[in-house]
Chain A
Amino acid sequence: MTLRVKFCVIGTGAGGGILAYRLAKAGADVLVINSGGIPAQSEFENELSPEQKGHFEIGPHTTFPVRPEISIVHSLLADARSRSSIECPREGGFHHYQIHHVNGLQNLWNGICLRYSEDDFANRNPYSEDCRWPISLGDLADHYSEVERLALVVGERNGLRQFPDGSFLSPRSARQIDRVFIDSNAGSLTQKCVACGNCGRGCRSGSVYKFSTHLLPEIRALRNFRLLEHTRAIKLTAVDCDNEGFSISHVVAIDERAARIVEIEADVVIVCAGAIESPRLLLNSFADDPSKAEQVGEFLQDTPHAVVGTSFFGLWFRPANEDRGYGDHILLGGQIKDSQGKRFPFVGQFWSDFMKAPYYLAEMPRLPRFLVKTISRQVFKSTATLILWSPAVPQRKNKVVLADRVDHFGQRQARIDYETSEIEADHSRRVAALGRRMLRKASGYITDDVWSPPGSGIHYAGTCRMAADPGGGVVDKDLKYFKSKNLYVCDGSVIPVLSEKHPTLTIMALAHRLAERLIKTYI
């Protein structure tokens, strides 16, 4: 089957969703393909307990006794054995959380919406010489505002340099457990409420932005818009042009449900499949002529982070307060010094919920059973966690390359070569120590470091980085592939260097900016 369209968008995550929406609303002929279907609405509405989920947060690789570790067990995650785009990670290797459903990794997004600051765009990260932003905050400011309105971002306007103000809805007020933390750390906190948190486990309000729930319903009935679900792009067919590089003549995709090949002829192709899948598609497509894919896959990044958890003794033997588990109501930020005395910025999010999985058991001394039960009840209702993020240190050797094995669709899988740099590890240790101090001030006398393996930040970026010139990256400042005249990339992969802030809003703003450019040029 062959389809003819003006714009073909591959993927529906933070980039693809906004692009599809904006182009469709402008009347453009848009076809969006996604390798999976629309997730059930219950994924966003019901916060299920481990028992209700049926798997008790026990995944294939969970080991007993269960220790605190970032390990996301989610029904939407791709089966690593048969459906994954990447080779199974080796022990301790980079773990790619991959979702084939509509919304992509936004299905695991915890809803923190932060603009990158002027300092981020000014390339002040001392470790990112090869990866530099070719645009400024001013280039994106209006687009940030537009997507903040589309995604219904909540927050306070505090005039902070690190967290630029935006078009925010009003925040909710702090809860009992938030007050314990805030009052104990007065003076060192930035309070800024965000829409929600932990939506990978379900969202009681359904308020977290998702393409499928927020924007897709508005455009689905439009005659100029089509969404092909369960359709996976496997190859871009390139035709050489004389002076302008190559042109993409077809997107070849597999419609899994109909078990047929779909060929899409498009004037413009925009790859928005994420910072792992997009380079894999490009590398597979240009495997016969690697010069077309120079630098693709290099400089893979994931935001370094540390997670510390505790139980606030101040809440022990007090009635359980049910106003828990919704949102990261406290955000902290600032700068601290690394072991060399250099200052670096960090962002921390305070997260409190009833403890779902009893990670504390492994640390508990041998006690009579009634004492274990008593202590466990207190821990259950008084747990709090700080997740602290620091900027990435881009390294060329961290990359996505093609593996020898093929996936379910006969396409070569990707292999991820990744090593955490000593600087990133140092930063994570520093912010973890800061987090422990803050939790102790709030009566969390015993703190636990939660092991966060590479990839568990789920902020994948850098692999098709934007740059001012072809020597410095894969796409230009308008996200056009340097070597092609009609190919664009728009997802986390174009971010040249990750700051300490969550990148989703920036990807959405970049997508909005690209949509405006495409509308001006082609419509």
Chain B
Amino acid sequence: MSGHDSLAKRLCQVSPYAGCIEPLIGLIPEIMERNDQLRPLWTAWRQNATPDLTPRQYFTRREVKLLCDFVEYLYFASDAFARSARRNR
């Protein structure tokens, strides 16, 4: 796992869906980089994260909510979710 990927993985821990999107971690830096709303959060996290710092400690409540919305969105837009929805009644 690259440095960026592990930063992204730690960032996603803010959300209860973090475990569900692990296969997508590698895509997250680029998606966040491209989006106007997420880019500042990713840049700040990339520059300032330390090993003992959690996103909930670093970001404001509003920013944590934004990250949670993003991770939740990723899960429900993922192929894994689509497969499960097609399979189950």
Task: Please choose the segment from A303-311, A352-360, A433-441 that sits at the chain B interface, where 4 or more of its residues have CB less than 8 A away.
Answer: A352-360
Among B34, B73, B82, B88, the one with the most A-chain Cβ atoms within 10 Å of its Cβ is B73
Measured between C-beta atoms, what is the minimum distance from B5 to chain A in Å? 15
Given A55-B31, A57-B77: A380 in contact with B69 (beta carbons within 8 A): no
Measured between C-beta atoms, what is the minimum distance from A352 to chain B in Å? 15
Question: Chain B residues near A127 (CB, 8 Å)?
Answer: none
Given A64-B70, A64-B73: A380 in contact with B85 (beta carbons within 8 A): yes
Contact A61 B85 (CB under 8 A): no
Contact A59 B82 (CB under 8 A): no
User: B61 at the A/B interface (Cβ < 8 Å)?
Assistant: no
Given A320-B85, A358-B76, A361-B73: A55 in contact with B34 (beta carbons within 8 A): yes
- Which residues B43-72 have CB closer than 8 A to chain A? 66, 69-70, 72
Question: Chain B residues near A57 (CB, 8 Å)?
Answer: 77
Neighbour of B35 across the interface among A62, A357, A361, CB < 8 A: A62
For the complex, count residues of B whose C-beta is within 8 A of A.
28
Neighbour of B24 across the interface among A51, A358, A380, CB < 8 A: A51
Neighbour of B37 across the interface among A63, A380, A381, CB < 8 A: A63
Question: Chain B residues near A357 (CB, 8 Å)?
Answer: 73, 77
CA separation between A354 and B24, bound complex, in Å? Answer: 21
- Which residues A44-58 have CB closer than 8 A to chain B? 49-52, 54-58
Question: Chain A residues near B82 (CB, 8 Å)?
Answer: 49, 354, 380
Neighbour of B79 across the interface among A49, A59, A65, CB < 8 A: A49
User: B1 at the A/B interface (Cβ < 8 Å)?
Assistant: no
Interface of B is mostly: helix
Given A58-B34, A63-B37, A320-B86: A376 in contact with B81 (beta carbons within 8 A): yes
Measured between C-beta atoms, what is the minimum distance from B66 to chain A in Å? 5
CA separation between A54 and B24, bound complex, in Å? Answer: 9
Task: Please classify how large the interface on chain A is, using the bins under 10, 10 to 19, 20 to 34, 35 or more.
Answer: 20 to 34
User: B84 at the A/B interface (Cβ < 8 Å)?
Assistant: yes
CA separation between A354 and B87, bound complex, in Å? Answer: 13
CA separation between A57 and B31, bound complex, in Å? Answer: 10
Contact B77 A50 (CB under 8 A): yes
User: B16 at the A/B interface (Cβ < 8 Å)?
Assistant: yes
User: A319 at the A/B interface (Cβ < 8 Å)?
Assistant: yes
Q: Which residue on B lies nearest to A55, using beta carbons?
A: B31
Measured between C-beta atoms, what is the minimum distance from B46 to chain A in Å? 18
User: A124 at the A/B interface (Cβ < 8 Å)?
Assistant: no
Neighbour of A56 across the interface among B31, B37, B66, B86, CB < 8 A: B31
Question: Chain B residues near A361 (CB, 8 Å)?
Answer: 69, 72-73, 76
Contact A64 B69 (CB under 8 A): yes
CA separation between A63 and B69, bound complex, in Å? Answer: 10
Among B37, B69, B72, B78, the one with the most A-chain Cβ atoms within 10 Å of its Cβ is B72
Measured between C-beta atoms, what is the minimum distance from B22 to chain A in Å? 13
Query: Would you list the 3 A-B pairs with minimal beta carbon distance, nearest first?
Result: A358-B76, A380-B85, A377-B85
- A sample of 26 cross-chain residue pairs with beta-carbon separation below 8 angstroms, ordered by A number, consists of A49-B79, A49-B82, A54-B27, A56-B73, A56-B77, A58-B34, A60-B36, A61-B36, A62-B37, A64-B66, A64-B69, A66-B69, A317-B89, A318-B89, A320-B85, A320-B87, A358-B73, A358-B77, A361-B72, A361-B73, A361-B76, A376-B76, A377-B85, A377-B88, A380-B82, A381-B86
Q: Which positions in A face B, CB cutoff 8 Å?
A: 49-52, 54-66, 317-320, 322, 354, 356-358, 361, 369, 376-377, 380-381
